[in-house]
Amino acid sequence: MHVVQGMVKVNPHGGLRGTLELTNGLVTIAHMIETRNNVRAFGSGSPTLLFSHGFGCDQSMWEPVANQLADSFRIVLFDHVGAGRSDLSAYDKAKYANLDGYARDVVEVARSIDTPDLVFVGHSVSAMIGALAAIEAPDLFKQLIMVGPSPRYIDDGDYTGGFDQQQIEELLEFLDNNHLGWSAAMGPAIMGNPDRPELGERLTNSFCNTDPDIARDFARATFFSDNRADLSAVPVPTLVLQCSEDIIAPVEVGKYVAEKVPDSSFVQLEATGHCPNLSAPDEVAQAIRHYVRT
Amino acid sequence: MKSRRQSGTMSGPDPTEDLLDLYENAPCGYLSLAPDSKILRANRTLLGWLDLSADDLVGKPLRDLLGTGGRIAYETHLAPLLRLQGFVYEIALDLRCDHGLVPVIANASEKRDESDTHLFTRLTLFRAEDRRKYERNLLESKIRAESETEQRDREAELREQFIAVLGHDLRNPVAALKAGTELLKDSGNLDTEDREIVTQMDSTIDRAIELINNVMDFARGRLGSGISLDLQRAPDLDRKLETVIVEAKTARPDRDIRSEIAIGRSVECDPDRLAQLLSNLVSNALHHGRHDAPVMVKAITTRDELEISVTNSGTPIPAHVLKTLFQPFDRGSKQGNHDGLGLGLFIVDQIATAHGGRMEVASDEGGTTFKLVIPSKESEQR
């Protein structure tokens, strides 16, 4: 984060907004959020679609879908802090120990976009992050689109989330055993060579890079979350896009979400697996286009 | 060049590799997946590891081979990576079969056609029992080391807090005692015997204050941020050091303390800390030196250095004691019970080090000299 000196003008909606005097010029809060969350915008049209990635990857997993929609909508992509090319120095263990910290960031990103027509599209855990953000700041969001949502991953009484505690521990163990191309030295190296990303790419995975310690925290925040009670408070129209054969977010869970969210629609996709935004971008883009247009 | 096959009866190795055999019996496992992650084909090596037949495996989803952790990670990490970049290398996986887990390292890549349509995914798997065990051990050591460090940090913090509180709590009652004896000394109602008692009490209280300060400094120097200096260009270091001498003389009117303080220029230092150092050294000299011989204090500057030395006569310090003299809790000859905690010289050494200087000690029949040497360039003066 930048070291900021000077005055913050607090707007009537609350939160940070306005201009800050930096020692070397003028910088806006929006700019700080842009850097923190590696916010990228392209395309034109209305509404603006704000895409939020899930656990395990970064904004690049939305590109195949977003690129198709950029002809009719303004597209905003970002990385959650800790993922992709977000500002790792902004990572705060306490803030991001649960989904609320991520939701606060989404509210700030949404506010910095400054449009009356904002549709939030969240994949996987980001569906719930979006729900929390919309509850927090209902005026900022026009609609929510949830792709493969789950309000709770661990079974609880009559509720079937699909996992038990032990299985989540196994996932954490897998993450410990796999750095998936991450090395502490590599992040900055790629950051330092934005013009030549192939330098890193040759040797290792350059997408979806996550600091292993942060990945572990995010896994905990994700898989130990329970947002079932929040669903009834979602204040905006919501579309649930449900994959077939999704072991992370099974069909029953998607239906549960649609049932509990007051103003919701449910669409069953033909796409299989947990990442239809990558395995079936056409179908996902089509569903989004259809929903926001009607 | 000789013909490779000279006759039908001649037997010898055929240099042409049988690629089908290589696929089936390579020293690694091969696995091909359909775009929906269902298993299309597995080689004989892999089937052997898993003790399965091709019929058991083909048509099953890959997740049936993976544990839950691997399954979630495949969906959330590996599948997206494969789609985005077409390959993922060096994944540590545990394959499940009837007789347990087969730990492997896998590389995976997507086979795509000219129009970039995903045809299938190829995996190459290497058995990696030892490698994975080794990595797990490393990981466990790392986690253990981290948790131990965390534990130590917590304890250190607690210790520092304890010592800070202790120091504070001890200082208050001692300060009250000190104020009381000062008042008594000033009162005109004391007879000679009373006055002597009060003077002794006063000097004991000074000793107690010094001990408390030493403990506090030790706690900081040893456990915390090191002895902190308030560095300044001190023009009046002479006066500061003179004060220490006067205080020592007042406390011990029976002893002969001679001083030659001739610094003569300003010195970059923490004058309070140097006064504390001198006070410690003088107090040591008075205590350990011959009581009928003088204690000599000398403070001078050379072109590049400041030197402060304190000399006393008496029994030389044995060589083996000299070695550990500046260690905390070292009480020299281990005799007498007036030495306090043995922190004095440790703190002296800490103050010298914090100034970028050193302590020197020389001890023989002629006497014992402790000398502080810290760099102080004349040329740096303005």
What percent of chain B has a predicted confidence (pLDDT) above 90? 34
Is residue A73 scored above 60 in pLDDT? yes
- Which residue do the tokens 């011959």 mark? B290
Is residue A5 scored above 50 in pLDDT? no
A232 is catalytic: no
Nearest to A273 among B79, B89, B91 (CB): B79
Per-residue confidence band for A135, with pLDDT thresholds at 50, 70 and 90: very high
Rounded Cα–Cα distance for residues A81 and A214 (Å): 9
B258 touches chain A (CB under 8 A): no
Complex prediction ipTM: 0.74
Q: What is the pLDDT of residue B187?
A: 81
Q: What is the pLDDT of residue B159?
A: 79
Per-residue confidence band for A188, with pLDDT thresholds at 50, 70 and 90: very low
Among residues B76, B57, B72, B55, the alpha carbon closest in space to that of B123 is found at: B57
**Which chain A residue lies closest to B140 (C-alpha atoms)?**
A176
A165 touches chain B (CB under 8 A): no
**Which chain B residue lies closest to A206 (C-alpha atoms)?**
B85
Averaged pLDDT for residues B104-108: 92
Q: What is the pLDDT of residue B158?
A: 83
Chain A CB contacts of B89 under 8 Å are 181, 204-205
Q: What is the pLDDT of residue B121?
A: 95
Contacts of residue B282, defined as CB under 8 A and 6 or more positions apart, other chains included, come to B244, B245, B248, B257, B295, B297, B310
What percent of chain B has a predicted confidence (pLDDT) above 70? 90
Query: Higher model confidence: residue A281 or residue B204?
Result: A281
Pick A40-293's CATH classification: 3.40.50.150, 3.40.50.1820, 3.30.160.20, 3.40.47.10. Answer: 3.40.50.1820
Chain B interface disruption, residue of A147, A178, A210, A222, most B CBs within 10 A: A178
Per-residue confidence band for B223, with pLDDT thresholds at 50, 70 and 90: low
- Report the SS3 class of residue B181: helix
Nearest to A208 among B67, B77, B91 (CB): B77
Q: What is the pLDDT of residue A184?
A: 43
Q: What is the pLDDT of residue A52?
A: 97
Name which of A126-135, B57-66, B327-336 the model is least confident about. Answer: B327-336
- Report the SS3 class of residue B119: strand
Rounded Cα–Cα distance for residues B7 and A228 (Å): 80
Rounded Cα–Cα distance for residues A4 and A14 (Å): 19
Q: What is the pLDDT of residue B197?
A: 87
Is residue A260 scored above 60 in pLDDT? yes
Domain regions of chain A by residue span: 1-36, 40-293
**Number of residues assigned to chain A:** 294
Alpha carbon of B68: minimum distance to chain A alpha carbons (Å): 6
**Number of residues assigned to chain B:** 382
Q: Where do the domains of chain B lie, and which CATH numbers do they carry?
A: 19-127 (3.30.450.20), 145-223 (1.10.287), 232-380 (3.30.565.10)
Question: How much is the mean pLDDT over chain A?
Answer: 83
